[in-house]
Amino acid sequence: MRTTEKLTVTVSKPVAGAARAEAERSGETLSALTNAALREYLIRRAIADEPDTDPEWLEAAARTLVEDEAGR
């Protein structure tokens, strides 16, 4: 079973440049930065839509977000 999927995105040149610079500075790959950013976005959207979201999933997502932030 695949655990990754290729995703092509288009971003503005300033965002691309900043992302590349951050990747070089942090030693992360652009894929890792994109994965983290998309995960954070989806969690924040789920929190905003909380009434329609499974409470257990929200708790797990919030823990993941906190752990990710602490690891940075």
Domain edges within the chain: 13-71
- Give dist(CA 16, CA 33) in Å, integer: 11
Digit-coded pLDDT (tens) for 18-42: 999 999 999 999 998 888 888 888 8
**What percentage of the chain reaches a pLDDT higher than 90?**
29
Whether the predicted model's global pTM rises above the 0.75 cut: no
The pLDDT value given to residue 57: 79
- Give dist(CA 9, CA 13) in Å, integer: 12
